[in-house]
C-alpha cells in the first residue's frame, strides 16, 4: 500500500523537479556593432539561457533573436518615461519601433519601464510618470491585439525594501511604498504582469562585514545559516533570505500572488575600490555556480512554495561604463566573448534530477517493503 503522506511526497517531488525558476542573462552593452547582434543571440542560445534582458533593445538586436527560442525582456531607459507618460503616440511609436515588427517571431515577453526609478542617487525623479507610462504602453499593446507581453518596472532591493534581516519584518520603504509601489502592484495584478527587482547579495555583504562570506556564496558549511527569530525559518544563503524579504514586503501590502522576477543578480570578478577584495574571479564563480544549483533545486524560497519565477544573471560580458559598472567586471564572458567560468555544464543540467528521481524510487520501494 502507498501511504498517503508518501503519495503526497511523491506528487510534491514530481512538482518540485518539474519547475524551477527560468535562468536568464542580462545584456547591457550600449553599442550593437561590436559584437554583432547575431553573435550575441547565438552565444546566449549556446549557453542555454532561456531568456535575456536587453537594456538597450536596438531593433537589430531584437531581430537577431527571431530564429531562437530565447524569451526577451526589453528595458526602456528612465529619461524616456515622461514622454511615454504624457503622450500616447510616443508610447505607440516605441512599440512600433521595438515590438510590432518583430513579435511574435522574437519572443518578447516582458517590458520594464525604467530601472530603479526610486533610487535616490538619480538626478531626476521619474516616479510620478511611471504608472501613466506603463498604462500607455499596456494600452498600446492591447490596441495591437497583443496580450501576452507583460508591462512592469524594475525596483532595486536597497531603495525599495527596509531590511533583509529578519526577512519576516521586511517592508517597502515609505513613503514611496504607498505612493509609488502600491499602485504599481495593483497595475501588475490587474494586467497579469510580474514584479521585477534587482537583488545583489554582493552589495549587502559589502556593507555588512559580519555576514559570513560562505553565506553569501551558497557554501554548505555548518555555520552558514541564519535563523529568522520570528518565523523560526532557517536560511542557508543570503539570496534566499533577500528573496523572502521581497515576498514578505509584497504580502504586507496584500499582493503576495504576483510572480516575482529577479531582474539582476551577480558577483563582480574585479572591483573598482581598493577595499573590494571579495570582488574576485574565484568568488564570482562560487556565487554563480551556487546560484544556479540553488535555482535548479526548485523554485521555492523558505516562505513561498513557488518563490521567484525567474532570475537574470548580470551580466553576459565584461564592459566598461554604464551605471552599475563603476569599474567592476560582472561578465560571465570577457570582453572578447571568452567564457570566464566553468558554468555551462551546470546550466544545461537535468541529469541531476534524474539522479535524485532514482534515489527517490529506491526509497519508495524500500518504504513499501517496510510496510509490506
Ligand X SMILES: *[C@@H]1O[C@H](CO)[C@@H](O)[C@H](O)[C@H]1NC(C)=O
Which parts of this chain interact with ligand X (CB under 6 A)?
A: 68-69, 87, 89-90, 93, 116, 119, 121, 156, 158-159, 323
**What distance in Å separates the CA atoms of residue 84 and residue 137, rounded to the nearest whole number?**
8
Least separation in angstroms between residue 155's CB and ligand X is: 9
**Cα–Cα distance between 198 and 240 in angstroms, integer?**
13
Please tell me the distance from the alpha carbon of residue 57 to that of residue 53, in angstroms, as a whole number.
9
**Distance (Å, rounded) from C-alpha 210 to C-alpha 205?**
8
Decide: residue 223, CB within 10 A, 0-12 exposed, 13-18 middle, 19+ buried: exposed
Q: How far is the CB of 46 from ligand X (least distance, A)?
A: 11
Q: What is the nearest approach in angstroms of ligand X to the Cβ of residue 117?
A: 10
Nearer to ligand X, 41 or 224 (CB): 41
Rounded Cα gap, residues 264 and 112, in angstroms = 12
CB of 208 to ligand X, least distance (A): 15
* Contact predicate 140/88, CB 8 Å: yes
For the residues of 289-332, what is the DSSP string, one character each? HHHHHHHHT-S--SS-TT-EEEEEES-SB--S-STTTTT-B--S
Q: How far is the CB of 31 from ligand X (least distance, A)?
A: 19
Minimum distance, C-beta of residue 143 to ligand X, in the bound complex (Å) = 16
**69 or 175: whose CB is closer to ligand X?**
69
Closest CB 263 distance from ligand X, rounded Å: 12
Q: How far is CA 212 from CA 204, 257, 320, in A?
A: 11, 32, 30
Nearer Cβ to ligand X (164/303): 164
Minimum gap (Å) between residue 341 Cβ and ligand X? 24
Instruction: Report in angstroms how near the CB of residue 121 gets to ligand X at its nearest.
Output: 4
For residues 257 and 272, which CB has a smaller minimum distance to ligand X in the complex? Answer: 272
DSSP per-residue string spanning 200-266: -HHHHHHH-TTS-HHHHTT---TT--EE-TTT--EESSHHHHHHHHHHHHHHHTT-TTS-EEEEEE-
What is the DSSP pairing of strand 150-156 with strand 22-27? unpaired
For 189, the 3-state DSSP assignment is: helix
Our CB check for ligand X shows the closer of 134 and 303 to be 134
Nearer to ligand X, 233 or 284 (CB): 284
DSSP tag of 67? T
The span from the CA of 212 to the CA of 200, in Å, is 15
Separation between Cα atoms, residue 257 and residue 260, nearest integer Å:
9
Q: Which is nearer to ligand X, 42 or 191 (CB)?
A: 42
- Using the minimum distance from each CB to ligand X, give the nearer residue, 18 or 69: 69
Residue nearest to ligand X (CB): 323
Q: Which is nearer to ligand X, 233 or 242 (CB)?
A: 242
Give the residue from 194, 162, 158, 185 showing the smallest Cα distance to 175.
162
Amino acid at each position: 500500500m502507498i501511504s498517503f503522506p508518501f503519495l503526497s511526497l511523491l506528487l510534491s517531488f514530481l512538482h518540485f523537479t518539474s519547475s524551477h525558476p527560468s535562468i536568464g542573462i542580462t545584456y547591457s552593452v550600449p553599442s550593437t556593432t561590436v559584437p554583432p547582434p547575431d553573435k550575441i543571440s547565438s552565444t546566449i542560445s549556446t549557453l542555454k539561457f532561456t531568456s535575456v534582458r536587453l537594456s538597450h533593445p536596438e531593433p537589430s538586436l531584437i531581430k537577431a533573436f527571431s530564429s531562437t527560442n530565447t524569451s526577451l525582456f526589453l528595458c526602456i531607459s528612465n529619461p524616456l518615461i515622461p514622454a511615454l507618460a504624457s503622450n500616447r503616440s510616443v508610447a505607440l511609436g516605441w512599440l512600433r519601433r521595438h515590438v510590432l515588427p518583430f513579435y511574435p517571431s522574437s519572443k518578447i515577453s516582458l517590458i520594464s519601464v525604467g530601472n530603479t526609478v526610486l533610487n535616490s542617487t538619480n538626478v531626476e525623479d521619474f516616479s510620478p510618470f511611471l504608472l501613466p507610462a506603463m498604462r500607455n504602453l499596456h494600452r498600446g499593446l492591447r490596441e495591437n491585439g497583443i496580450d501576452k507581453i507583460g508591462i512592469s518596472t524594475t525596483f532595486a532591493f536597497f531603495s525599495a525594501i527596509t531590511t533583509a534581516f529578519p526577512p519576516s519584518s521586511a517592508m517597502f520603504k515609505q513613503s514611496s511604498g504607498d505612493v509609488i509601489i502600491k499602485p504599481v502592484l495593483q497595475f501588475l495584478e490587474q494586467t497579469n504582469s510580474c514584479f521585477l527587482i534587482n537583488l545583489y547579495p554582493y552589495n549587502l555583504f559589502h556593507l555588512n562585514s559580519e555576514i559570513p562570506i560562505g553565506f553569501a556564496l551558497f557554501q554548505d558549511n555548518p555555520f552558514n545559516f541564519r535563523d529568522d527569530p520570528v518565523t523560526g525559518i532557517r536560511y542557508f544563503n543570503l539570496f534566499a533570505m533577500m528573496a523572502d524579504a521581497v515576498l514578505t514586503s509584497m504580502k504586507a501590502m496584500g499582493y503576495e500572488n504576483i510572480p516575482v522576477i529577479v531582474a539582476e543578480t551577480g558577483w563582480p570578478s574585479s572591483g573598482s575600490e581598493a577595499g573590494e577584495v571579495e570582488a574576485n574571479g574565484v568568488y564570482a564563480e562560487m556565487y554563480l555556480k551556487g546560484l544556479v544549483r540553488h535555482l535548479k533545486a526548485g523554485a521555492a524560497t523558505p516562505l513561498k512554495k513557488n518563490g521567484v519565477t525567474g532570475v537574470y544573471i548580470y551580466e553576459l560580458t565584461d564592459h566598461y561604463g554604464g551605471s552599475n559598472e563603476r569599474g567592476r567586471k560582472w561578465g560571465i564572458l570577457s570582453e572578447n566573448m571568452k567564457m570566464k567560468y566553468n558554468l555551462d555544464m551546470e546550466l544545461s543540467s537535468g541529469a541531476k534530477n534524474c539522479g535524485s528521481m532514482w534515489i527517490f524510487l529506491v526509497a519508495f520501494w524500500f518504504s513499501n517493503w517496510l510496510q509490506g
